[in-house]
Amino acid sequence: MTDVLDLPDVDDAWAWTAACEERGWGDGLPTVPPTEERVAAMLAALPPDLPHLGPLPPRGVTPTLRSVAANAVMAGCRPADLPVVLAALDAVQDEAYNLHGTLATTHPCAPMVLVSGPVCDALGINAGGNCLGQGTRANAVIGRALSLVLLHVGGARPGVLDRSTQGSPAKYTFCFGESDSPWESLAVRRGFGADEGVVSVMAAEPPHNVNDHGSTTGAEILLTVAGTMAQPGSNNVYVRGPHLLLLGPEHAATLHRDGWTPDTIRAHLWEHARIPVSHVSAGNRRQFVEWGVEPDGDAYTVSDAPENLHLAVAGGAGKHSAWIPSFGGTALVSRRVP
């Protein structure tokens, strides 16, 4: 069975966009037509030892390298971006990531892609200023390509099999780099080499900003972080699971100067990021019990273990960090970029 479609009269950009709309393709933004030539150029640049791709929920169709490359073209990828897209696609297929649940849920989670290692510089993946925002092609197209594969091949169409109540802007694209850190990088702490390109994925909410311009010590910064994390509307409160603290480099430098390490930061936040029982409604408390979650004394923890808080550094100048909660029923999964 051929995977080639002959679409007459769509050589014009407007006509192509209209043709995509008619077929239910795309994320609402214009795409690049995945011509046979462009897809061939993508595939020609692939390295050996590519990951095995399995069926994608909710539709259950197994993508081919050609269909993944077609979606990468549509997203605006360059051939060099495709291995990162494939590594991310492999990572979200790990059972622990819970792809089916994360795509079909009413929660607004999106597939977050954190890229570590030299591949960031090689591809121009932004780990610095505005790394979570617009303006960098690699960040924009790699995250978008993953979302398009899950939409087109997986069938996670908004309002149909993607049942998100409100969605989030992160569903368009959610990819950024890990910057130089005063500690070992997240990828190295997870067992990869410093010279390896690594993607780490998690079904995540968009970042929650942590603004702290006043604190001058690490302990003070962590007080603000703990307060930001201690909110009762997070999935992590009762579904539990992973969450990510993305420290801006200035906050990270202050913490490092004061002797904090990723492990001591996690332990401290585990003890101090607590949600008072009085901040949780009676109905929600009953639901938490159904999920097996009880308060620890007069407060709830923000997840089920300090190890579920992951920590990385990214961003530019300024006194901001971000807390990124997750769907809860997911995992932070890392894969080496081929």
Partner 1 sequence: MRIVDPTSGTAPEDTVAVVAAADGAAGALCGLSNSKPGAHDILAAIGRRLADDHGLGPNGLEAKPSAAVGADPALLDHLAAQYRLAVVAIGD
* List of residues contacting partner 1 (CB under 8 A): 3-8, 10-11, 16, 25, 33-36, 39, 55-64, 66-67, 69-71, 74, 98, 100-101, 104-106, 148, 152-153, 163, 239, 283, 287, 327-329
Secondary element (H or E) of residue 313: strand 309-313
Q: State whether the Cα torsion 71-30-169-152 is positive or negative.
A: negative
For partner 1, give the closer residue by CB, 35 or 217. 35
Ramachandran angles phi, psi of 50, nearest 5°: -85, 155
**Nearest-approach distance from CB 14 to partner 1, in angstroms:** 14
Residue with smaller CB distance to partner 1, 62 or 130: 62
Question: Cβ closer to partner 1: 74 or 186?
Answer: 74
Shortest gap between Cβ of 141 and partner 1 (angstroms)? 14
What is the three-class DSSP state of 60? Answer: coil
- Spatial separation of the C-alpha atoms in residues 141 and 41, rounded to whole Å: 17
Residues 6+ apart with CB under 8 A from 48: 338
State the nearest-atom distance from the C-beta of 6 to partner 1, in Å.
5
Say how far apart CA 333 and CA 114 lie, in whole Å.
10
* Closest CB to partner 1 among residues 107, 251: 107
* Cβ-based nearer residue to partner 1, 120 or 324: 324
Nearer to partner 1, 260 or 327 (CB): 327
Distances, alpha carbon 20 to alpha carbons 11, 74, 106, 285, in Å: 12, 10, 26, 46
Label residue 6 exposed, middle or buried (CB < 10 Å: 0-12, 13-18, 19+): exposed
Residue 289 CB, shortest distance to partner 1, in Å, is 12
Write down the least CB distance from residue 74 to partner 1, Å. Answer: 6
Least distance (Å) between residue 233 CB and partner 1:
14
